């Protein structure tokens, strides 16, 4: 357990001091609103019931007119929502919310509604009590269980579907943070027994958290569907209840994804697939979000781990079930290791936020900041503003000064550029009467710097904990600017957001000028960081230190630059798309243009090798690389999986046909293949296909063929088509066609 005094800042961590809370659930007491707290003390979990008073914050006029019995508190400040209505029971709260919706014509979720009525009892309790999850706990104190399932697929299909009778679960790998593992299933064990054993393990070991990779869109829905087929009660809740399912969405960056949300009473569900998405949004470093690729990126894949291609699962199970058991065990171990790295941030956030731990992993940072502000205003008794109307905001400063390969390249980063400008210039939202926004930002910065300083001398688990803490604070700090332009943010301020970006552009423009005055050359600038070529003779030692010190002395007060990395070479392709070579040989590729997941595997591999040659100064070898791949395609040496594309049928076939025939939608290869197949495809099925034929210019939907129909003894992949794809990549990134290179004598 961590010292409770460490978390005493009410703005950041709430004023609740209750330690060891691992879950909070609604006790469904309508007449005496109650939540049930689960508290962990070592290996023991106890429960405690707490009552709370339901509330709605609205205008004094509406509060006075509301016919539902309540008490009213007058709130301080200039906010238009200046009255807090309090109710003796949950039914009165619901009745008042319905009356407000009817009276105003605004739903509770509308940002323009003249009232705030939080429909989740647990959130109401956490906002008014200041209680959060995991106070006084270290990450290692949390009991986390990981699991991963393996299924066999009916012959002729590419991917298992829980609705098909024969697509059953044959193994479940289970692990926890202590190092314990178990494989349920294997040869001869029926699916019902596997599911019953899984439920028994969850109940017996009683984890606070269930973790998995792609848990919400695959493992849990699959388990739930198969349990229902066998009429097995999936009693995973701490009260013996079954999970509640509903459709939900997660927003990461500009991407909104749908998923099935599972709520398990007294426990949390953490999907490392979502954590990897969030990581990649900020780092742009993952080639794929699949478990194997993420494990390799974080160097947690065992050297001797078992690998099985997805399409081979059924065959492996039938012939060597022990190999499948080894495979699922390796999968669940990698899930545990990835969670060890990525879920620490959500754990720290849960100690701060009036949200369930599960929600911290799927909510955007703007929503989280909004919750911190709401809690502070509730505690201070201040009136709330209505959100500012949305409008476009000028973007941050990005620019590209040099294209191609340059060496060496260094990087400097303005430490929290926008937050630094906000604090140094006092730029907070105009509606923040209580002055919480900038005070919270200053507190976060102080905590982050303290954690970062302690981390420098720490070792082992403590260092990991402090690193997670400072990284979490950094992410929050850098999200405060984005909150100002968040349309649903109660304290948003688009005018202030515009001014901050303007100040940032001016500062970065001045920094580029200063760098070049000192003999450096800017390569690329991206919102708050600059890649640059250092001045001649100032690449290391005292000369480098002198250059950096001189540059820092030109900056305005309150602005700090971190010289955070140096690289042997950089390949600058276009804005926000580049590759970097470290001195240990590691290549870092960033940007969708250089590592698009829409490319076939052979293209991704070719592009990575081509870029590596560029960075290593071996451009003359690129034509040979091209010839190697050309020849391998010609000689049919690649696996069919290197050419395959896999797509999930998001629509049913009948819906696709209607869109195609009645609405003029384009024909799509996976659906056309599913329509032609003898077997029955459903929405949610995955179709893997490749392109056949002899000409490079073919209609894909007319020449596509299922991977499951590929015959290795009579290979029919379209050599010309795939060579043309290779040519296109080569011309785009490598230079001129191979035949022109020999006439030219030199490619570059």
Could you tell me the residue ranges of all domains in the chain? 4-137+353-378, 148-350, 387-428+493-597, 617-744
Q: Residue 144 forms beta bridges with which residues?
A: 209
Q: What share of the chain has pLDDT > 90, as a percent?
A: 69
CA distance 252 to 18: 32
Contact 420, 559 (CB under 8 A): yes
Element of type H or E holding 619: none
Strand residue runs (E) in 253-357: 255-263, 268-271
Contact 438, 504 (CB under 8 A): no
Report which of 420, 442, 433, 445 is spatially closest to residue 491, judged by C-alpha positions.
433
Say if residue 748's pLDDT is above 70: no
- The predicted-structure confidence for 313-369, as pLDDT tens digits, reads as follows 999 999 999 999 999 999 999 999 999 999 999 999 999 999 999 999 999 899 999
Angle at 431 between CA 425 and CA 437, to 5 degrees: 55
User: Quick one: pLDDT at residue 741?
Assistant: 32
Task: Give the fold, CATH level 3, of 4-137+353-378.
Answer: DNA Polymerase; Chain A, domain 1 (3.30.342)
Contact 703, 692 (CB under 8 A): yes
CA distance 545 to 161: 60
User: Quick one: pLDDT at residue 415?
Assistant: 80
Report which of 148, 73, 18 is spatially closest to residue 381, judged by C-alpha positions.
73
According to CATH, the superfamily of the domain at 148-350 is: Ribonuclease H-like superfamily/Ribonuclease H (3.30.420.10)
According to CATH, the superfamily of the domain at 387-428+493-597 is: B family DNA polymerase, palm domain (3.90.1600.10)
Q: Residue 255 forms beta bridges with which residues?
A: 252
Give the pLDDT mean for 672-698.
Answer: 86
Q: Which two tokens stand for residue 88?
A: 């003796």
Distances (CA, A) of 331 to 177, 184, 292: 14, 14, 8
User: Quick one: pLDDT at residue 735?
Assistant: 59
- Which of 73-82, 445-454, 580-589, 629-638 is the least confident region? 445-454
CA distance 163 to 137: 42
CA distance 18 to 50: 12
CA distance 485 to 292: 37
pLDDT band at 3 (very low <50, low <70, confident <90, very high): very low
Q: What share of the chain has pLDDT > 70, as a percent?
A: 97
Give the pLDDT mean for 189-214.
Answer: 97
* Other CB atoms within 10 A of residue 510 CB: 13
Report which of 261, 262, 190 is spatially closest to residue 232, judged by C-alpha positions.
190
Task: Please give the mean pLDDT across all residues of the chain.
Answer: 90
User: Quick one: pLDDT at residue 254?
Assistant: 66
User: Quick one: pLDDT at residue 287?
Assistant: 74
Answer left, alpha or beta for residue 527, where phi above 0 means left and psi between -120 and 50 means alpha: left
- The predicted-structure confidence for 370-381, as pLDDT tens digits, reads as follows 999 999 999 999
- The predicted-structure confidence for 669-682, as pLDDT tens digits, reads as follows 999 999 988 777 77
**pTM listed for this prediction:** 0.82
Does the fold of domain 617-744 match that of domain 148-350? Answer: no
Contact 516, 402 (CB under 8 A): no
CA distance 98 to 96: 5
User: Quick one: pLDDT at residue 576?
Assistant: 87
Q: Report how far Cα 700 is from the mean position of its chain's Cα atoms.
A: 32
- The predicted-structure confidence for 525-559, as pLDDT tens digits, reads as follows 976 789 999 999 998 999 999 999 999 999 888 88
DSSP 179: S
CATH 1.10.132.60 fits 617-744, yes or no: yes
Q: Residue 58 forms beta bridges with which residues?
A: 83, 115
Distances (CA, A) of 196 to 208, 237, 419: 20, 14, 52
- Which of 17-31, 110-124, 226-240, 673-687 is the least confident region? 673-687
Give the pLDDT mean for 441-469.
Answer: 85
The answer for residues whose C-beta is within 8 angstroms of residue 15's C-beta and 6 or more apart is: 130, 379
């Amino acid at each position: 357990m961590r010292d409770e005094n460490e978390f005493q800042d009410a703005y950041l961590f709430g004023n609740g001091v209750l330690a060891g809370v691992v879950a909070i659930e609604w006790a469904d007491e309508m007449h005496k609103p109650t939540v049930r707290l689960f508290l962990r003390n070592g290996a023991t979990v106890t429960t405690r019931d707490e009552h709370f008073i339901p509330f709605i914050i609205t205008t004094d006029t509406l509060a006075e007119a509301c016919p539902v019995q309540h008490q009213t508190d007058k709130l301080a400040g200039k906010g238009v929502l200046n009255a807090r209505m309090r109710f003796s029971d949950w039914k009165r709260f619901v009745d008042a919310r319905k009356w407000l919706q009817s009276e105003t014509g605004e739903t509770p979720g509308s940002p323009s509604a003249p009232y705030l009525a939080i429909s989740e009892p647990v959130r109401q309790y956490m906002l008014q009590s200041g209680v959060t999850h995991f106070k006084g706990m270290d990450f290692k104190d949390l009991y986390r269980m990981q699991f991963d399932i393996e299924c066999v697929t009916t012959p002729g299909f590419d991917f298992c579907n829980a609705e098909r009778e024969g697509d059953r679960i044959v193994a479940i790998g289970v692990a926890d943070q202590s190092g314990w593992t178990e494989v349920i299933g294997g040869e001869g064990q029926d699916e019902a027994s596997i599911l019953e054993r899984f439920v028994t393990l969850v109940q017996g070991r009683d984890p606070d958290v269930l973790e998995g990779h792609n848990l919400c869109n695959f493992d849990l829905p699959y388990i739930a569907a198969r349990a229902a087929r066998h009429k097995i009660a999936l009693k995973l809740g701490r009260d013996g209840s079954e999970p509640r399912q509903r459709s939900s969405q997660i927003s990461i960056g500009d991407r909104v994804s749908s998923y099935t949300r599972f709520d398990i009473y007294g426990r949390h569900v953490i999907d490392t697939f979502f954590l990897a998405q969030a990581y990649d949004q900020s780092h742009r470093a993952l080639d794929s979000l699949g478990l194997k690729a993420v494990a390799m990126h974080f160097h947690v894949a065992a050297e001797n781990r078992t690998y099985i291609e997805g399409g081979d699962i059924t065959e492996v199970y039938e012939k060597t079930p022990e190999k499948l058991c080894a495979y699922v065990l390796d999968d669940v171990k990698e899930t545990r290791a990835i969670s060890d790295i990525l879920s620490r941030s959500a754990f720290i956030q849960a100690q701060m936020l009036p949200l369930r731990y599960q929600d911290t992993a799927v909510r955007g940072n703007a929503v989280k900041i909004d919750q911190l502000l709401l809690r502070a205003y509730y505690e201070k008794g201040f009136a709330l503003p209505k959100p500012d109307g949305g409008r476009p905001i000028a973007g941050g400063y990005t620019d590209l000064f040099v294209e191609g390969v340059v060496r060496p390249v260094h990087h400097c980063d303005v430490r929290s550029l926008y937050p630094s400008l906000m604090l140094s210039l006092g730029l907070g939202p105009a509606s923040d009467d209580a002055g919480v926004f900038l005070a919270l930002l200053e507190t976060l910065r102080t905590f982050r710097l303290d954690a970062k300083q302690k981390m420098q001398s720490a070792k082992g688990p403590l260092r990991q904990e402090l690193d997670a803490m400072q990284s979490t604070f950094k992410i929050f700090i850098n999200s405060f600017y984005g909150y100002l332009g968040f349309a649903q943010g109660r304290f948003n301020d688009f005018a202030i957001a515009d001014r901050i970006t303007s100040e940032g552009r001016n500062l970065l423009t001045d920094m580029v000028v200063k760098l070049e005055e000192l003999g450096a050359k800017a390569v690329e600038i991206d919102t708050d960081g600059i890649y640059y070529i250092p001045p001649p003779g100032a690449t290391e030692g005292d000369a480098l230190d002198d250059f950096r010190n001189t540059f820092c002395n030109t900056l305005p007060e309150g602005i700090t630059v971190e010289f955070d990395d140096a690289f042997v070479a950089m390949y600058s392709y276009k804005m926000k798309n580049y590759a970097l070579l470290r001195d240990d040989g590691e290549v870092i590729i960033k940007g969708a243009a250089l590592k698009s997941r829409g490319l076939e595997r052979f293209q991704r591999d070719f592009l990575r090798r081509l870029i590596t040659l560029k960075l290593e100064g071996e451009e003359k070898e690129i034509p040979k690389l091209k010839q190697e791949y050309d020849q391998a395609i010609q000689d049919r040496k690649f696996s069919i999986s290197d050419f395959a594309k896999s797509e999930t049928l998001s629509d049913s076939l009948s819906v696709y046909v209607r869109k195609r025939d009645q609405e003029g939608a384009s024909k799509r290869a996976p659906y056309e293949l599913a329509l032609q197949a003898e077997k029955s495809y459903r929405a949610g099925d995955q179709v893997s296909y490749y392109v056949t034929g002899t000409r490079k210019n073919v209609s894909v939907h007319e020449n596509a063929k299922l991977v499951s129909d590929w015959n290795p003894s009579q290979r029919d992949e379209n050599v010309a088509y795939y060579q043309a794809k290779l040519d296109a990549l080569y011309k785009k990134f490598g230079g001129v066609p191979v035949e022109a290179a020999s006439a030219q004598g030199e490619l570059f």
